[in-house]
Amino acid sequence: MRSSPSAGGLYPTEIYILASNYKGLEDGIYNYQAQKHGLVLIQKNNVKSKLLEATFNHPEIECGNLFLILTGVFFRSSWRYQDRAYRRICLDTGHILGNIDLVSFPSNFKAVLIGGFNDKLINETLCLDEDEEQALAIISLSKKETISEFPCALPSKLEPQNTKTPEGMRLLQLHNRSKIENYVKVPNINIPDIEEKFKFSSKTLLEEEPHSFQWNKTLLPTILKRRSTRAFTGGPLTKEELNAILDFTYHPELFYADGLDPSPMYFDLSLVETFVAINDVDGLEDGCYYYSKKGRYLRQVRFKNFRDDIYYLCLGQELGYKASAIIFHTCDLPKSIFKYGERAYRYIHMDAGHLGQRINIAAINLNLGVSGIGGFFDDTVNDVLGIPEDEAVVYITTLGIPAKTISQ
């Protein structure tokens, strides 16, 4: 029942449920026990007033009764991945946010995402030891028709970094530096349109008609059978399959009739760009493409087959070599940090993980193979694929035809 993936299978994310006058649950804080699919009451108090204070009087906390807090337990991942674990903790958490989002709407809830909160107050409310575990995201399970005007993401202070922190200490330092104490408005910064900034080649249009996934019947079975594919055959995907996955990931409004949320909440998707390397997709030339979320089209940025390069870039993983299409999520880090301070880093990685979960679910629904990849050579990936150097790759998701393996 591993409904969302986790880098290295280390599961650093915890889920707490806060109930306040919610029918069927005594007021208090519960920890969700994934293995037994149950709740453990860990505090009997009604902590809504603390939550309200910590979220700077967020209207959805004011009128809500049921809230989720997702936390990261740092050492579960950092013993293995050291400081880079921070990315994977946030990506993993983003995958879970994707699942929460997908199942909320059919369960008559709108998942209202809250990223701007006073960290210290939230961590204190949950009685967390901040050296071990801290809050990453809050969700109000609100009424389905809710349209939240409150910004999902708030900035943290941008402090000049004048100390050289030793390796192994940077994860906690970065997280602590990204904390918010007081409400600060999001500065009105325009992130320039990437297509205006860079001259990509002409457009390759994708299908007009969205694929019929029939989510009203298939969503839960698909989530429950999701697994990361351990080996691909190397065989081709079709252009229609790729298009269906991209549509489901970036155009949720197309699946409203299936009962899904037409506008799931992200921290700030304007920070995240998408590039797709095509190794073997029927109907598409091999190469690296920019994908326009707005326009539903691809623009080729480099013309060649990247199998060997991606094998190398993904630290020699077969998955990268045999994948038919590889999706790269990127962001302009300096601009993002200018907008949100150090906190940008967590927002970007959680949003990339959230998109990654939608890619996973769409691929599994189509009986295709899929796996996230968090280990890659950051300094060479842009140069090799032709992704503009301002755009740092934050996450890779591989797609292909699954090979039959015993562990599947």
Ligand X SMILES: Cc1cc2nc3c(=O)[nH]c(=O)nc-3n(C[C@H](O)[C@H](O)[C@H](O)COP(=O)(O)O)c2cc1C
Binding residues vs ligand X (CB under 6 A): 2, 5-9, 88, 91-92, 95, 227-228, 317, 319, 371-375
Smallest distance from the beta carbon of 89 to ligand X, in angstroms? 9
Smallest distance from the beta carbon of 372 to ligand X, in angstroms? 4
Structure tokens at 258: 């299936």
* Closer to ligand X by Cβ: residue 140 or 317: 317
| CB distance 191 to 335 below 8 Å | yes
Distances from the Cα of 102 to the Cα of 2, 60, 199, 256, 305, angstroms:
16, 19, 36, 11, 34
Exposure pattern of 273-297 as b/e (b: 16+ CB <10 Å)? bbbbbbbbbeebebbbbbbbeeebe
* Closer to ligand X by Cβ: residue 50 or 84: 84
Smallest distance from the beta carbon of 158 to ligand X, in angstroms? 26
Smallest distance from the beta carbon of 345 to ligand X, in angstroms? 14
* Closer to ligand X by Cβ: residue 359 or 373: 373
Q: Which residue is nearest to ligand X (CB)?
A: 5
Structure tokens at 189: 């910064």
* Closer to ligand X by Cβ: residue 12 or 287: 12
List the alpha helices (DSSP H) in 323-373. Answer: 333-340, 344-365
Smallest distance from the beta carbon of 395 to ligand X, in angstroms? 7
Q: Residue written as tokens 């602590």? A: 176
* Closer to ligand X by Cβ: residue 72 or 374: 374
| CB distance 280 to 286 below 8 Å | yes
Q: How far apart are CA 35 and CA 139, in angstroms?
A: 22
Q: How far apart are CA 332 and CA 206, in angstroms?
A: 26
Smallest distance from the beta carbon of 73 to ligand X, in angstroms? 15
Q: How far apart are CA 316 and CA 234, in angstroms?
A: 15
* Closer to ligand X by Cβ: residue 264 or 374: 374
